[in-house]
Structure 1
Amino acid sequence: MRFPAPLKAGDRIGVTSPSSGVDADLLPRLEFAVEVVETRGYEVVVGECMDGAGHISAPAADRARELTAMLTDPDIRAVVPPWGGELAIDLLPLLDWDAIRDAEPTWVVGFSDMSTIITPLTLLTGVATIHGNNLMDTPYVTPKGLLSWLDIAALPTGSTFTQSSPGVHRSSGFDDYRDHPDAYEFTLDRDGRWIRLDGDGDVDVSGRLIGGCVEALCNLMGTRFGDTAAIPGDQLIYLEASGDDAATICRNLHGMRLAGFFDRAAAVLIGRTRAPGIASLSQYDAVVDALGCLGVPLVADVECGHVPPFLPLVNGALGRVVHNATESTVIQTLD
């Protein structure tokens, strides 16, 4: 596994939209987020593929060209999108994978539809990526126990860091960036800790981290872009549901299991979600129905999904998950 060089003051960070762009009335939030990154001492370069008038920021060829250019530019040390979207998958056959693999590794950050990009990047190139807050989420103050992707990307290779569940999350809704473009404090109004879905007992398990958004990754099964066999040894697989109902998620997880996605799983972490159940199947039930047969710990309500706050996970990092009556932590080593 290869890890990009740590970010340092003066480094350049690229912003592009591999999926959805930014509406004109949300540009003040984008500008505020860029300013927050610049206050860390970085130079921010905003690309041309940023149009938010439609469901994609630019034609697929243009988006692929811009992302490839940023990932092969030695002066750009990290790439972050404003947010996810719907159709990042159309970039996969258009990216210059050989050029990206041969280039100096660059940090790529994001979640949601960006899983369609960052997870294949790790699987196909052996370069670590960060499943963490997108640019529009970056201004939020990080709760105690968690780190921002900017903190992680500044760590040298070989570093070990620990994140712990803050025990609180946002119960509903999101900040309206049109009315509050400078929002920087999460509304964390509900208590909640991780839970084990497959039974009782403490969890202490290790492996390399890999995962992302279920609705994005399920479409990569049976292709080289979703082949977890590229990562040797035990794996800590993390997944999160964006919004699909429990029956759809259950079906997707079954398909991913049948495709071999979980063949090396030592545990599965499930992100906290507000996605609905159906009358006879909850989101928890969906996970157990599809993955209970794996015989590994299934730990749910981890802060790695669409419900704030965010616990960034590094695809490709060595991870250790500890969950018991007094502790819920993820320890990651960039090695």
Structure 2
Amino acid sequence: MITYPILKNNATIGVTAPSSGVEEELHELVKSSSSRLKERGFHVICGETVWTQDKAKSAEAAKRAQEFNEMMKNQEIDLIIPPWGGELLIEILEEIDFDKLKNKWVLGYSDTSVLLLAITLKTGIATANGTNLIDLRGEYSDETTAMWQSVLSTKAGDSINQHSSEKYQKKWQHDNPSPCVFHLTEPTYWKTVSGKNVKAEGCLLGGCIDVIRHLIGTPYGDLKSFREKYINDEPIMWYLENCELKTTDLRRTLVQMKLAGWFENTSCILFGRSPANEPVENYTIVDVYQDLSNELQIPIIYDVDCGHVPPQITFVNGAYGELEVEDGKGKVVQHFKA
């Protein structure tokens, strides 16, 4: 069975940087995010790694892992949120005390999803793919982003509903700050390869495909053991988002996942909106989705609220999801099975 943390009132948030830290000229982003969270009743503890960044990482792997391990063991810390993602989180996996991890939430996305997926697969502890700390610095959060707190406050045995956003952000406007951080201007429309409405269900797993693909073939990506030990071979509903891959690299990755058995007993796959997905010759992203759907004979849903084109639904690795897509609108119910 999956173990679900619970976010309590007036929780203490631990901020550590298992991937990238924050350059000095951007420290104000962390400070303003921390201040906003304190206004909402949270306590915030920032680790040393948050404030440093060199050679594409916040610190050497041993230091990053040590700080994360200490925050996971610290009884005063209820939830861990990195400032943002990065590039080299995978370096710390062999230093993480997976056998000693406490039952507490870790929330984030991008490179952080390597750690999230590894924790859930190795321990059966649910993790949350959603907002990072920096994007909580606004005067308020949009309705989709704001659901992170309700999702993480859901008790084992209960369920939580989320819906597709009304609008998404096409591009960043850093010179024009928004009260909710994002500039949500474009109508959201969830699409299906078949063009038809879709219903599906299964255990939710996923993250940023650029980086979680590197778990394949390692002790941190053992899907077979996870299925047998924690979910009794329930179907899996994958959510994936592409940060930087061209269509051919994405295609190679999806074929590798298939060959590695990651798509066995999969009910459907959701793909987030992407700033990448550049076609190679005339091989487009829709071609990629169509090829995968044809091979696996399952529904493919794309342009969902997940990843680097905000806002984001909070997807919980390990939760049992029920998905409905109808006329471009999406609904995801996550059951925290007791």
Equivalent position amino acid for 1:106 in 2: K
Please give the alpha-carbon distance, in whole angstroms, between the structure 1 residues aligned to 2:64 and 2:144: 35
Deviations 1:43-102 (A, max 9, x none): 1000011212441001000000111111122221100000000000001111111111xx
Residue number among 220, 236, 243 corresponding to 1:225 in the alignment:
220
Residue number among 278, 281, 304 corresponding to 1:279 in the alignment:
281
Q: Which stretch of the first structure deviates more once superposed, 139-148 or 241-250?
A: 139-148
Aligned residue number for residue 111 of structure 2: 113
Quick check: 1:264 aligned with 2:265? Answer: yes
Aligned residue number for residue 30 of structure 2: 30
Q: Given the superposition, is the C-alpha separation of residues 145 and 136 from structure 1 closer, same or farther in structure 2, using an over 3 Å criterion?
A: closer
Please give the alpha-carbon distance, in whole angstroms, between the structure 2 residues aligned to 1:262 and 1:285: 19
Please give the alpha-carbon distance, in whole angstroms, between the structure 1 residues aligned to 2:178 and 2:16: 21
Q: CA deviation at 1:181?
A: 7.5
Secondary structure in 2 matching 1:284: helix
Where in structure 1 are there 5+ consecutive unaligned residues?
A: none
Please give the alpha-carbon distance, in whole angstroms, between the structure 1 residues aligned to 2:145 and 2:59: 34
Root-mean-square deviation over aligned CA pairs: 1.8
Residue number among 208, 215, 228 corresponding to 2:203 in the alignment:
208
Q: CA deviation at 1:146?
A: 5.7
Aligned residue number for residue 250 of structure 1: 251
Deviations 1:253-274 (A, max 9, x none): 1111111111121110110112
Equivalent position amino acid for 2:304 in 1: V
Please give the alpha-carbon distance, in whole angstroms, between the structure 1 residues aligned to 2:69 and 2:173: 32
Secondary structure in 2 matching 1:137: helix
Q: Given the superposition, is the C-alpha separation of residues 309 and 23 from structure 1 closer, same or farther in structure 2, using an over 3 Å criterion?
A: same
Equivalent position amino acid for 1:155 in 2: T
Please give the alpha-carbon distance, in whole angstroms, between the structure 1 residues aligned to 2:42 and 2:214: 35
Q: Given the superposition, is the C-alpha separation of residues 263 and 147 from structure 1 closer, same or farther in structure 2, using an over 3 Å criterion?
A: farther
Secondary structure in 2 matching 1:281: coil
Aligned residue number for residue 314 of structure 2: 312
Q: Given the superposition, is the C-alpha separation of residues 333 and 163 from structure 1 closer, same or farther in structure 2, using an over 3 Å criterion?
A: same
Aligned residue number for residue 139 of structure 1: 137
Q: CA deviation at 1:180?
A: 6.7
Q: CA deviation at 1:328?
A: 1.3
Is contact 2:273–2:306 with CA below 8 Å preserved after alignment?
yes
Report sequence identity in percent: 32
Equivalent position amino acid for 1:242 in 2: C
Equivalent position amino acid for 2:152 in 1: A
Aligned residue number for residue 163 of structure 1: 162
Where in structure 2 are there 5+ consecutive unaligned residues?
A: none
Aligned residue number for residue 194 of structure 1: 190
Q: TM-score, normalised by structure 1?
A: 0.92
Q: CA deviation at 1:289?
A: 2.4
